[in-house]
Amino acid sequence: MILDDFSLAGRVGLVTGAARGLGQGHALALAEAGADVAVLDIFDCAETAAKIRDLGRRAITLQADLSKATPEDLAGFVETAVAGLGRLDILVNNAGIIRRQPAAEHSAANWNDVLTINLDAVFFLSQAAGRVMIAQGSGKIVNIASMLSYQGGILVPSYTAAKHAVAGVTKALANEWAASGVNVNAIAPGYMATENTRPIREDADREASIAARIPAGRWGTPRDLAGVLVFLASAASDYLHGAVIPVDGGWLTR
């Protein structure tokens, strides 16, 4: 039956940036579909882990600052997830930061901090997870891209560079790993009501101009991404490789 293809029963996922917002939503979506989940964040993930356990699934927490993590550290997080939950089938690269500063003044620190978390960690976590998945002949990597994987944005050159690169890395890894049974795809959320977008939402004029351009007539929520995430993490997407799927309330159609 087709709905069986969407089940994640017996699967194990690792979600970064899972303490709150979209990341917490991703972790809970995997758990609702049947997966056990390792959750990683610089912040305490106890709340997310408790919610996962309330759904009858296992959870382990990892606390780390991805801006300081080496490739070896990132590989270690994957190893810890495997050791704690027995395997690894799904990686969701969600963790990210944004620094707003005009391009003419955009500091080296703002550039490097964003690229380190939003791109370097994505690649090296994917690399480590990919080794596990290639060895077992199956796996799903879901990267979180952005509308700024397509567009230039305002005041966020480092974030735009990183999210364009995430789309490219998604395609590059898909090309190499598809034949090994590993699917690498991405979700490009539209404007989401999260902590990252709080400064924009607090600017009444800008918030109104954005909302007016969204055909759905509202900002997105973590729940709006749950169905696509479960699809990409499940057997239902076994022949989908290198896709970057907008979930944007129709933003790109305007």
Quick check: is 95 in a domain?
A: yes
What tens-digit pLDDT sequence spans the chain (254 residues)? 999 999 999 999 999 999 999 999 999 999 999 999 999 999 999 999 999 999 999 999 999 999 999 999 999 999 999 999 999 999 999 999 999 999 999 999 999 999 999 999 999 999 999 999 999 999 999 999 999 999 999 999 999 999 999 999 999 999 999 999 999 999 999 999 988 788 889 999 989 999 999 999 999 999 999 999 999 999 999 999 999 999 999 999 99
Among 95, 86, 98, 87, residue whose Cα is nearest residue 64: 95
Quick check: is 251 in a domain?
A: no
CATH number, domain of 215, equals 3.40.50.720
Quick check: is 161 in a domain?
A: yes
Quick check: is 253 in a domain?
A: no
| Maximal C-alpha separation, the chain | 56
Among 159, 51, 67, 150, residue whose Cα is nearest residue 106: 159
From its phi and psi, is residue 17 left (phi > 0), alpha (psi between -120 and 50) or beta?
left
What secondary structure letter does DSSP report for 220? B
Residue 124 to residue 152: CA distance in whole angstroms? 25
Q: How many structural domains is the chain composed of?
A: 1
Cite the active site residues: 159
Quick check: is 233 in a domain?
A: yes
Q: Token digits for 165?
A: 């690169």
Quick check: is 52 in a domain?
A: yes
Q: Which residue range forms the structural domain that includes residue 206?
A: 2-246
Residues 6+ apart with CB under 8 A from 205: none
Quick check: is 7 in a domain?
A: yes
Quick check: is 254 in a domain?
A: no
